[in-house]
Structure 1
């Protein structure tokens, strides 16, 4: 292992402290985030949100077209630019509530397709999609459950629009979404087909380069993309990862260093 690899390993080891496999309490962290949010003044924040929604052209367009939220247009733009979906695809939508991405996926994959939607929040049914709500994606049992539902199949597209309750601290928000992104990436290792596509939301921050290094280990083509439907003041962007690399048997050194998240065996 050279000096650069040792440096990356040290950085990733620190990053692993944020992942879904440690004793990080998801519900507790949500409570902290919510407390910080409401401490700013719930009434004034709600008023600003309502005004923004009222004047947002994407909100109006979503209502006209029957989408559950404006985020549908983010995925539609991604699909138009990167050709994500095909008829008959198996798609897993992580962080799916209220269901607009699920709606888009159903439309794009057609009657022969299969769409699974999972979220920790409640979610109303969406067409023929399989809905797994009130399920925390930050725990291994949820991954195992969805894998069992695939019945020895793998997804063609795995997309994560998971986002933490924003605390207003760029560093804290970035760490929170990194936790979610790492959980989604780990899930793809055992459940995404060779040459498949992975979409993941991210906030700009100090560790995004490390996360991109992980993606490069697993995908031939990676694009960073901010859809026009993303709010201009938002720090979000998406990784569009295509052509998943063919899995090779890990070396002895890689097996010994299996704590590095990209080296978990399929």
Structure 2
């Protein structure tokens, strides 16, 4: 009896770990050698995507002390970290005006000083839109940020279309909460509908440009549209 119990225990406790697939090994190697991953750890950013927003904001000065920002698809919170610092929503610069940062995500987002997160909220849902004016000074935001993306299906064109759909939904959100003259920065994956998305943005913003920050991997189809000087559409 002891022998069989002992053998069973030995088998379960010493099972060899599952061998990682080639794709998993390549991903781990890329992460280990990625300078932005290393820098995000050193600077306590929640993920490397923070450097995409930092690079864009350094060039175009979207985020100023005192303004209101809504971060769509905020998890895990790296873009909100950048926004909190740049708009001074945590009040760390007593001589500068305090801004506001609201983050929205279907997932749970860990608390961050200076940000108010609406976890388990759908950014495309009108019920979510209705909550935002009460959280923003004057009921309006100066900047909408979106680094959100759908879960990958493995079919590139389908994923591209779904992400374009998410970006288009931000125009409904903009109509609810974006100030005249405000800005929208949204991620998209390059593909057949990119020009359609750009045309739609051009209908309500004075300028729209496509950006590929250095922190975006060269082999990725990821790009960003920066739309500036919002003109609220006239209904009817």
If the TM-score is normalised by the length of the shorter chain, which range does it land in? 0.7 to 0.9
Q: Per the alignment, do residues 44 and 83 of structure 1 end up closer, same or farther by CA in structure 2, a change over 3 Å counting? A: same
Aligned counterparts, 1:134-145, within 5 A: 134-145=120-131
Aligned counterparts, 1:30-179, within 5 A: 43-110=21-88, 111=91, 112-150=98-136, 152-179=138-165
Q: How far is the alpha carbon of 1:69 from its aligned partner?
A: 0.5
Figure out how many residues of one structure are paired with residues of the other and give that number: 210
Q: How far is the alpha carbon of 1:151 from its aligned partner?
A: 6.4
Unaligned residue ranges in structure 1 (runs of 5+): 1-40, 256-266
Find the counterpart in structure 1 of residue 220 from structure 2. Answer: 234
* Distance (whole Å) between structure 2 residues aligned to residue 122 and residue 152 of structure 1: 27
* Distance (whole Å) between structure 2 residues aligned to residue 204 and residue 159 of structure 1: 18
Q: How far is the alpha carbon of 1:222 from its aligned partner?
A: 1.0
Structure ranking higher in helix proportion: 1
Find the counterpart in structure 2 of residue 181 from structure 1. Answer: 167
Structure-1-length-normalised TM-score: 0.75
Report the more deviating stretch, 167-176 or 222-231. Answer: 167-176
Pick the structure with greater CA Rg.
Answer: 2
Report the more deviating stretch, 160-169 or 141-150. Answer: 141-150
Looking at both structures, which has the greater relative contact order when contacts are Cα pairs under 8 Å and sequence separation is at least 6?
Answer: 1
The Cα RMSD (Å) is 1.8
Structure-2-length-normalised TM-score: 0.84
